[in-house]
Structure 1
Amino acid sequence: MLRRFVNTARVCSVGIAFSSLLGGAVHAADFSTKAAPVPYAADDFWTRPYLFGDLGRTKLKEQGIELGLTLGNESVGNVTGGSRNTAANAGQLWFGAKLDMGKLAGIPGGTVGLTLVDRFGKNLNTEADIPALQLTNEVFGRGNILRLTQLYYSQKLFDDRLELKGGRLPVGSDFFFGLCEFINLTFCGGQPGNIQGGYIYNWPVSQWAGVVHYKLAPEFTISVGVYDANPNYLTTSDPAIYFLPGIPASSRASGVMVPVELVWAPSGPLNGTWRLGGWYDSASTIDGGLPGVISTIPGIGGVPDQNLGDQRGRYGVYESILQRLTVDGPGAQGWYTFLNTTVADHRTSYQDYQIALGFRHTGTFSWRPQDEVGFAVGTTHVNSAALSPNAGGNEVPIEVWYGWQATGWLNLKFDAQYVINPGGRGYNAVGVKTDNAVVLGMRTEVHF
């Protein structure tokens, strides 16, 4: 029954996107990062924040139950780059619920969270044979299955200065850069997981974890987490692991992954979030493409040589800045910027650093106060010690988009990417030089 609903929602979203293009409407919101515009006419189809209307959600939230259902879809095609010109579509439908245990059970500061994510579609890099290090449709990945992405209990104590959180969690829910407003993976989500995806599992994969957040001062928070490092979480064949909250077989456990992060969140009109952190993973596996590795496929990595006996672990550091630059009008109108830098352990990492800089402006035109424009440029570096033709090379993506708030519940982003040296130096898996990639696309987001 759930699978049938998922498929129906996907079909509906395509029709919604095309009808909105023909009908011409108003407003705009980012991909799961910005609240629906308010105030709104609850009975107006074009301005209300949900396609199907309120459906009692406001009353439920007042009682302590917050529900959401959102479809995100990315359709992309390459004009140049790869071995053939083609298109691919991928997306995800996610359901989220938060239970306020203060209202429901008399436990002030307590929250139960649940998130389910169903992904679908194809990877443009694979379909067009683009040897890029980073996905050109970031929403693809980790299997076309329905995953348990979050199931946790959170408890705030001491006037909310201390938060204890535990359960099934993706590391990016509490650490790293949290926005996803672009289609190229370089500019989306937790950057450490972008270049260390073999053991840092970004959304929608979850792990058993415990997290502590402590406010040192109103604008400063320090966070520490412990995540069960186990490759079983990446399975796409065993629903007892990827959908149920059970614990995978301990024989596959490789250790623990521990991130530490200090956050400065300046308040006021020019608010922001500045993160400085690092991580340590106790596993001993060396990433693909480095000395002692059997396979060397750019963008994928290889199979570690089990005879290496390396017991040194893996680690890295990162910074993330998200800052509002101007106030150009009421609400969110103005310029914003982000700067992310991640440097991974050079001894064990096939991709050893990534940098991304981006800008966004909300309220592009006075008569379109919710529309936006975005621009970003970044780079991903292949370890110079890698045993592959692209060793020491840099992949440089440039992306620009226009975000149109078609209705209160529908946002469309018209997007263009230019990927220089896909794969680091523009080599495919067998060392053949390939062209830079030009990718055009559209992102659709529907709030049901």
Structure 2
Amino acid sequence: MLDRSINVARVCGMGIALSSLLGGGAHAADLLTKAPPLPYAETDDFWTRPYLFGDLGRTRLKEMGIDIGLTLGNETVGNLSGGNRNTGANAGQLWFGAKFDMAKLAGIQGGTVGLTLVDRFGDNLNSEAGIPALQLTNEVFGRGNILRLTELYYSQKLFNGLVEIKGGRLPVGSDFFFGQCEFINLTFCGGQPGNIQGGYIYNWPVSQWGGVVHYNFAKEFQLSVGVYDSNSNYLTTSDPTIYYLPGVPGSIPGSGVLVPVELVWAPSGPLNGTWRFGGWYDSASTIDGGLPGIITTIPGVGGVPDQNLSDQRGRYGFYESILQRLTVDGPKGQGWYTFLNTTVADHRTSYQDYQIAWGVKHTGTFAWRPDDEVGFAVGTTHVNSNALSPNAGGNEIPIEAWYGWQATGWMNLKFDAQYVINPGGRGYNAAGVKTDNAWVLGMRTTVHF
């Protein structure tokens, strides 16, 4: 039944794109700088309404306190160079979200229940083409082609919104880090600490049990503290049966506690923005594979790098992420925006120990296309100089540009080009063979149902 639903979603998405092109008509945190779909109006026609299937009673449900959404995101990419062969790959996700306003439903002022389900499908271009990149060139791929519970939480605002407490199943990136995801290369998408520390910081769609407190201590300022169960079992796509063997892929280490702390400045006014400064500490002390360690022998396995289990100081890092509007060029969000992300992870335990990304976007590219956009970004991911890899000390440098066409009120198409310099850090694959820089072309399709 699940496979059938995925196939239907794929066919539907491709059919929508084709019908739009032929018809010539006219998607967590800071996920998009672009405004979400407008409330449905009976006068909207097929091309201008914000949802493919129309309102379907969702306006009435929202008035009652139930806000629902269903979105398909799909990325089709192919490499012209890099790796060991030129090929293509397609990956996507079907996303369902619901928020329940407990003030309207149960008279609990400031209470909210949130639910998010994510069903992913498709293939990884890096694997299909043999590109040894550190970061995905189609970011929507990952964490298994399965249906995941991404969010199930209760949130309560107290003291007239001065404090918010939140708990349940949560991705860390729902409340911390920089959540914008308007590019296809993972360097520029989602919570940056999770991009380079994905073994224990789990970005969307993986969730874990956690609790968060947000404290709005001054106008435009917020302090947030979270506590999350740090356990690799959340990454599994089936019931794990293997016990933990240090350095052996697929084995499950013991759990710990992940504690992020973040200060946010959100300047208001026409030139608004979100400036985040924070850090994290994880009590589960292990070292990323590929770093030096004691060589130990495990019966039936042989010599593998020990994860330095005698070192129980944990692991940590720091980050900043800035999203800032630069100009006001129109009434519907038109203007220039920029972002800058920097993450530095504990050099003692991290294979990828820092990442930097900068980019710009303009909404309202042409006067006759006020909802179209253009974007450009450049970044770098560094491999720890102590890593046991020919890529040690190297920097992977992706450059990306795209044009976003708002084809209809409910569908957006982004035509994308990436150039990845030194994939893997120095261009070496797992066999120690040097590969070329990668040219990747792609298209992202976003459909609101």
Q: TM-score, normalised by structure 1?
A: 0.92
Aligned counterpart, 1:5: 5
Aligned counterpart, 1:65: 66
- Confirm or deny that 1:203 pairs with 2:173: no
How far residue 41 of structure 1 moved from its aligned partner, in angstroms, is 5.7
SS at match of 2:80: strand
* One-letter amino acid matched to 1:11: V
Q: Is the 8 A contact 1:274 1:322 kept in 2?
A: yes
- Confirm or deny that 1:94 pairs with 2:95: yes
Q: Structure 1 residues 32, 21: closer, same or farther in 2, change over 3 A? A: farther
Aligned counterpart, 2:328: 327
SS at match of 1:215: strand
The whole-number CA distance in structure 1 between the counterparts of 2:145 and 2:357 is 28
Q: Is the 8 A contact 1:180 1:189 kept in 2?
A: yes
Q: Structure 1 residues 437, 40: closer, same or farther in 2, change over 3 A? A: farther
The whole-number CA distance in structure 2 between the counterparts of 1:256 and 1:317 is 17
The whole-number CA distance in structure 1 between the counterparts of 2:226 and 2:381 is 26
Alignment of structure 1 residues 180-199 onto 2, 5 Å: 180-199=181-200
The whole-number CA distance in structure 1 between the counterparts of 2:32 and 2:325 is 18
How far residue 187 of structure 1 moved from its aligned partner, in angstroms, is 0.1
Aligned counterpart, 2:291: 290
The whole-number CA distance in structure 2 between the counterparts of 1:303 and 1:106 is 58
Aligned counterpart, 2:282: 281
Q: Structure 1 residues 77, 381: closer, same or farther in 2, change over 3 A? A: same
The whole-number CA distance in structure 2 between the counterparts of 1:411 and 1:254 is 41
How far residue 307 of structure 1 moved from its aligned partner, in angstroms, is 5.9
Aligned counterpart, 1:145: 146
The whole-number CA distance in structure 2 between the counterparts of 1:177 and 1:409 is 25
Alignment of structure 1 residues 429-448 onto 2, 5 Å: 429-448=430-449
How far residue 19 of structure 1 moved from its aligned partner, in angstroms, is 1.6
Q: Structure 1 residues 175, 294: closer, same or farther in 2, change over 3 A? A: farther
- Confirm or deny that 1:22 pairs with 2:13: no
* Alignment length (residue pairs): 429
Residue deviations 1:200-228 (CA, integer Å, cap 9, x gap): 01000000000000101120000000000
Alignment of structure 1 residues 150-189 onto 2, 5 Å: 150-189=151-190
Aligned counterpart, 1:343: 344
How far residue 132 of structure 1 moved from its aligned partner, in angstroms, is 0.2
Residue deviations 1:254-289 (CA, integer Å, cap 9, x gap): 210000000000000000000000000001110111
Q: Is the 8 A contact 1:273 1:323 kept in 2?
A: yes
Aligned counterpart, 1:368: 369
The whole-number CA distance in structure 2 between the counterparts of 1:134 and 1:344 is 16
* One-letter amino acid matched to 2:123: K
The whole-number CA distance in structure 2 between the counterparts of 1:406 and 1:422 is 33
The whole-number CA distance in structure 2 between the counterparts of 1:375 and 1:43 is 33
Cα root mean square deviation, aligned: 2.0
Q: Is the 8 A contact 1:287 1:304 kept in 2?
A: no
Aligned counterpart, 2:394: 393
How far residue 20 of structure 1 moved from its aligned partner, in angstroms, is 1.2
SS at match of 2:96: strand
Q: Structure 1 residues 293, 147: closer, same or farther in 2, change over 3 A? A: farther
Q: Is the 8 A contact 2:6 2:121 kept in 1?
A: no
**Which 5+ residue runs of structure 2 have no aligned equivalent?**
241-251, 297-302
How far residue 303 of structure 1 moved from its aligned partner, in angstroms, is 7.0
Aligned counterpart, 1:107: 108
* One-letter amino acid matched to 2:21: L
How far residue 431 of structure 1 moved from its aligned partner, in angstroms, is 1.4
Residue deviations 1:213-250 (CA, integer Å, cap 9, x gap): 010112000000000011100010149xxxxxxxxxxx
Q: Is the 8 A contact 1:285 1:304 kept in 2?
A: no
SS at match of 1:80: coil
Aligned counterpart, 2:300: none
Name the stretch that deviates more: 34-43 or 154-163.
Answer: 34-43
The whole-number CA distance in structure 2 between the counterparts of 1:371 and 1:387 is 45
Aligned counterpart, 1:82: 83
- Confirm or deny that 1:215 pairs with 2:225: no
Q: Structure 1 residues 437, 41: closer, same or farther in 2, change over 3 A? A: farther
The whole-number CA distance in structure 1 between the counterparts of 2:444 and 2:292 is 40
* One-letter amino acid matched to 2:129: A
* One-letter amino acid matched to 2:131: I
Residue deviations 1:401-426 (CA, integer Å, cap 9, x gap): 00000000000000000000000011
The whole-number CA distance in structure 1 between the counterparts of 2:276 and 2:257 is 22
Residue deviations 1:93-118 (CA, integer Å, cap 9, x gap): 01000000000001000000000000
Alignment of structure 1 residues 117-156 onto 2, 5 Å: 117-156=118-157
The whole-number CA distance in structure 1 between the counterparts of 2:427 and 2:43 is 51
How far residue 5 of structure 1 moved from its aligned partner, in angstroms, is 3.3
How far residue 444 of structure 1 moved from its aligned partner, in angstroms, is 0.2
Q: Structure 1 residues 440, 89: closer, same or farther in 2, change over 3 A? A: same
Name the stretch that deviates more: 229-238 or 205-214.
Answer: 229-238
The whole-number CA distance in structure 1 between the counterparts of 2:378 and 2:140 is 19
The whole-number CA distance in structure 1 between the counterparts of 2:387 and 2:85 is 27
Name the stretch that deviates more: 308-317 or 171-180.
Answer: 308-317
Q: Structure 1 residues 61, 421: closer, same or farther in 2, change over 3 A? A: same
Q: Is the 8 A contact 2:40 2:50 kept in 1?
A: no
How far residue 37 of structure 1 moved from its aligned partner, in angstroms, is 4.8
